[in-house]
Amino acid sequence: MKKMNFFKCPAPFLIVGGVLSGFVNGLLGAGGGIIIVFVLSRLLKSHAEQRDIFANALCVMLPISVVSCIIYVLRGQISFDGFPPLIIPAIAGGIVGGLLLCKIRTGALKKLFAILVMISGVILIFK
Amino acid sequence: MLIILLIVAFIIAVLSGMGVGGGGLFVIYLALFTDIPQLQIQGINLAFFLFSSTASLTVHLTGRKIFWSAVAVMSLSGIIGALWGSMLSTNIDQELLRKIFGAMLIISGILSLKSSLKNTSKQKETKI
């Protein structure tokens, strides 16, 4: 069977990656971003730096998250009663984080949090 | 208590704006330290992410190259996946959902670590 060349024909990879990522995001309200970053890094390897890929991934995640959120609301199972106070820290933090991304080397932080996330995963499974 | 929550929310938004820790940090925090049900936490996290990543993008976008056709294909496919996933999540037992979330975190952490290590070794190579 002929091996599909990703660069000549990226569409299937983009579509499958997109659907998978959206599925995870819809099911779990988070995640999926790493799949998008993975696919985009392969596709854009020589044309873009890490920060570009991250920006592109955010652009993909936004509509996906909007849809997931809408469905959650339409299914009537969540309420946003306590939510408004969180808006300001969200926006402020997002801005600060975006600015820091250009100024700080995130390598060590990423590794640290990857480990913390794995440990949390184990805890959540057994909680 | 509210103050702590706001500070934690701020820190998580900063981290996620830097691409650290994935989008699940807030879910982790709420799941470990509150009694809020899993689906509700996920809903809050989605809404939180919308605000924080829109804010990040506005700061980020200047000077970045966006590949709109790739973004469009992935978003549209993603929306289909999201419809599927979110319909499923509202039908599943919440305990099971939390465990699946935990499994996703483990996988995501491993992939993240792998790619981080690969980047570090690439940087070391170019230095030599």
CB contact under 8 A, A54 and B78: no
Per-residue confidence (pLDDT) for residue B128, from 0 to 100: 55
By the 10 Å C-beta count (0-12 exposed, 13-18 middle, 19+ buried), A79 is classed as: exposed
Per-residue confidence (pLDDT) for residue A102, from 0 to 100: 78
Q: What is the distance in angstroms between the Cα of A111 and the nearest Cα belonging to chain B?
A: 6
Length of chain A: 127
Per-residue confidence (pLDDT) for residue A2, from 0 to 100: 43
pLDDT band at A122 (very low <50, low <70, confident <90, very high): very high
* pLDDT per residue rounded down to tens, chain B (128 residues): 789 999 999 999 999 999 888 889 999 999 999 999 999 999 999 999 999 999 999 987 777 888 999 999 999 999 999 999 999 998 999 999 999 999 999 999 998 898 888 877 777 776 65
Q: Which residue of B has its CA nearest to A16?
A: B77
pLDDT in tens, A71-121: 999 988 788 888 999 999 999 999 999 999 878 888 889 999 999 999 999
Which of the residues B8, B12, B18 would you substitute to probe the A interface, choosing the one with the greatest number of A C-beta atoms within 10 Å?
B18
CA distance A41 to B13: 23
Question: Closest partner residue to A59 among B15, B43, B71, by Cβ?
Answer: B71
ipTM of the complex: 0.90
Tokens of A117: 């996330």
Torsion angle in degrees (nearest 10) through CA of A107, B100, A93, B110: 0
CB contact under 8 A, A118 and B105: yes
pLDDT band at A1 (very low <50, low <70, confident <90, very high): very low
| Chain A neighbors of B59, CB-CB under 8 A | 94-95, 98-99
Name B16's Cβ contacts closer than 8 Å, sequence gap at least 6: A93, A94, A97, B22, B23, B25, B49, B52, B53, B56
pLDDT in tens, A29-56: 998 898 999 999 888 877 788 888 888 9
| pLDDT of A5 above 60 | no
Per-residue confidence (pLDDT) for residue B122, from 0 to 100: 75
Give the Cβ contact number of residue B92 at 10 Å: 14
CA distance B32 to B112: 22
Claim: this prediction has a pTM higher than 0.80? yes
**Amino acid letter for position A2:** K
